[in-house]
């Protein structure tokens, strides 16, 4: 079978860029974490299944847990469950889909033009306003497409965790999160299709993380990866776009979604805080600390929007130069700040920021966020206003 030239080029570039990441994981001794990532990395970076398949089947191995005594003995989760029942919203009727959205309106761009990573390039500065707005349209579509793909991963993870978690109160709350995530998939997909009219494939690195979560048999790791890491990433990203966009429908949509996600992360923190305080061996704790760190590095460094480079900038610069441009941009710096100010305090709260792992986070400049409030101390309003 002949491999298309673009796919072969992407594969070779993915392998070249991922080599240092895997080498560093080996040097840190994170072999157990590396082992769990090899299969997903092969499927995501080499086979590029998220881009080459319309539907991707995944083999899953995990245990469901039934509680035949129906014990209601987790009051914090009961309160979240009650809040979730009261906070349900309907994307069809609660959002004003009649709002006209012109994604290439340079007077009201989806993302401010000066926040685009390419804003400082001479070639961008010389473009007419409409073409600059087209690039803002592409960036917004790429970001929202990744949100959509992440929400589908969250939907499946919420289903799995609801089956596997051992407490009835957690299962009841989890059932509301399944509904929330389904609504988010519906809403982001409708916005992309009817308003932006542009959707991108899943980023290869996001595929790797979702594949790793889906295929791991340990329910608490699914919880850690989705409720703390991915949902933390989502909260940071949603908050960033909510602050910067001038488009009213998207702003309202994100306010609803952020309110849901605040409950989801809170749920993850109180559940894992209980599990990790009571039921982990030192070896298991070490594995989870290392896994969380490697995913943090992956989230911090690996979302480069290469599809946008292929569309408009491959003739102007190498992919390595593009990666440096993205990493050094103010947009990505703010994106990383808003993301890790949500993730790091929660890792500390659940006990995965020990003295052993701290130097690794310090090396990447991530410990500055550790003293910020964790999810249980934050309201939805705090997250919407990025407090």
Are residues 152 and 230 in contact, defined by beta-carbon separation less than 8 angstroms?
no
Give percent of the chain above pLDDT 70: 90
Which pLDDT does position 189 carry in this prediction? 98
Alpha carbons 40 and 215: distance in angstroms, whole number: 8
Handedness of CA 212, 383, 196, 326 (dihedral sign): negative
Residues belonging to the chain: 387
> Secondary structure of the chain: what % helix, strand, coil (to 5)?
70, 0, 30
Q: Could you report the per-residue pLDDT of 184-236, keeping only the tens digit for each?
A: 999 999 999 999 999 999 988 888 888 888 888 888 988 898 888 888 888 88
Which pLDDT does position 34 carry in this prediction? 62
DSSP category for residue 373: P
Residue 5's pLDDT band, with cuts at 50, 70 and 90, is: low
Which pLDDT does position 2 carry in this prediction? 45
Alpha carbons 116 and 103: distance in angstroms, whole number: 15
Are residues 224 and 165 in contact, defined by beta-carbon separation less than 8 angstroms?
no
Residue 96's pLDDT band, with cuts at 50, 70 and 90, is: very high
Q: Could you report the per-residue pLDDT of 108-131, keeping only the tens digit for each?
A: 888 889 889 999 999 999 999 989
Which pLDDT does position 82 carry in this prediction? 96
Q: Could you report the per-residue pLDDT of 13-53, keeping only the tens digit for each?
A: 555 555 555 555 555 655 566 667 777 777 877 778 888 78
Hunting for tokens 């929202």 — which residue is that?
A: 144
**Domain boundaries defined on the chain:** 5-53+63-384
Q: Above 60 in pLDDT, residue 11?
A: no
Domain 5-53+63-384 has CATH 1.10.620.20: yes
Alpha carbons 164 and 231: distance in angstroms, whole number: 19
Which pLDDT does position 114 carry in this prediction? 87
Which pLDDT does position 4 carry in this prediction? 58
Alpha carbons 41 and 56: distance in angstroms, whole number: 15
Alpha carbons 351 and 228: distance in angstroms, whole number: 12
Give percent of the chain above pLDDT 90: 47
Q: Could you report the per-residue pLDDT of 58-92, keeping only the tens digit for each?
A: 777 778 889 999 999 999 999 999 999 999 999 99
CB atoms within 10 A of CB 224: 27
Are residues 199 and 192 in contact, defined by beta-carbon separation less than 8 angstroms?
yes
Which pair of structure tokens corresponds to residue 182? Answer: 């389904």
Which pLDDT does position 382 carry in this prediction? 80
Which pLDDT does position 81 carry in this prediction? 96
Q: Above 80 in pLDDT, residue 156?
A: yes
Q: Name the nearest CA neighbour of 220 among 167, 288, 159.
A: 288
Residue 1's pLDDT band, with cuts at 50, 70 and 90, is: very low
Determine the 3-state secondary structure of 150 from DSSP: helix
Q: Could you report the per-residue pLDDT of 244-274, keeping only the tens digit for each?
A: 898 999 999 999 999 999 999 999 999 999 8
Alpha carbons 272 and 363: distance in angstroms, whole number: 26
Alpha carbons 342 and 358: distance in angstroms, whole number: 17
DSSP category for residue 115: G
Q: Name the nearest CA neighbour of 205 among 230, 175, 171.
A: 230
């Amino acid at each position: 079978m002949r491999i298309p030239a673009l796919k072969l080029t992407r594969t070779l570039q993915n392998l070249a860029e991922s080599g240092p990441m895997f080498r560093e994981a080996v040097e840190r001794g994170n072999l157990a974490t590396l082992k769990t990532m090899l299969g997903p990395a092969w499927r995501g970076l080499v086979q590029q299944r998220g881009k080459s398949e319309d539907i991707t089947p995944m083999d899953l191995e995990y245990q469901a847990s039934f509680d035949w005594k129906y014990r209601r003995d987790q009051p914090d989760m009961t309160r979240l469950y009650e809040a979730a029942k009261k906070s349900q919203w309907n994307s069809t009727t609660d959002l004003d889909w009649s709002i006209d959205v012109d994604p290439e309106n340079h007077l009201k761009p989806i993302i401010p033009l000066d926040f685009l990573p390419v804003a400082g390039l001479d070639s961008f500065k010389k473009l007419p306003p409409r073409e600059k707005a087209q690039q803002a349209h592409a960036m917004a579509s790429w970001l929202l497409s990744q949100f959509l793909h992440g929400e589908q991963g969250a939907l499946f993870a919420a289903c799995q965790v609801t089956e596997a978690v051992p407490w009835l109160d957690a299962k009841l709350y989890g059932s509301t999160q399944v509904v929330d995530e389904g609504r988010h998939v519906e809403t982001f997909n409708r916005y992309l299709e009817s308003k932006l009219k542009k959707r991108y494939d899943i980023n290869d690195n996001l595929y790797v993380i979702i594949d790793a979560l889906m295929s791991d048999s340990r329910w608490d790791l699914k919880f850690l990866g989705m409720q703390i890491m991915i949902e933390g990433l989502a909260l940071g990203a949603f908050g960033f776009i909510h602050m910067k966009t001038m488009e009213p429908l998207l702003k309202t949509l994100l306010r609803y979604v952020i309110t849901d996600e605040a409950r989801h992360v809170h749920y993850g923190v109180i559940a894992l805080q209980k599990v990790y305080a009571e039921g982990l061996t030192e070896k298991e704790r070490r594995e989870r600390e290392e896994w969380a760190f490697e995913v943090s590095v992956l989230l911090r460094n690996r979302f480069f929007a290469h599809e946008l480079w292929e569309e408009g900038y491959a003739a102007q610069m190498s992919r390595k130069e593009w990666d440096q441009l993205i990493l050094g941009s103010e947009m990505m710096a703010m994106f990383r700040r808003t993301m890790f100010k949500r993730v790091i305090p929660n890792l500390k709260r659940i006990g995965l920021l020990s003295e052993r792992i701290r130097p690794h986070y310090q090396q990447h400049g991530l410990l500055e966020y550790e003293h910020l409030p964790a999810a249980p101390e934050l309201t939805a309003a705090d997250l919407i206003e990025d407090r």
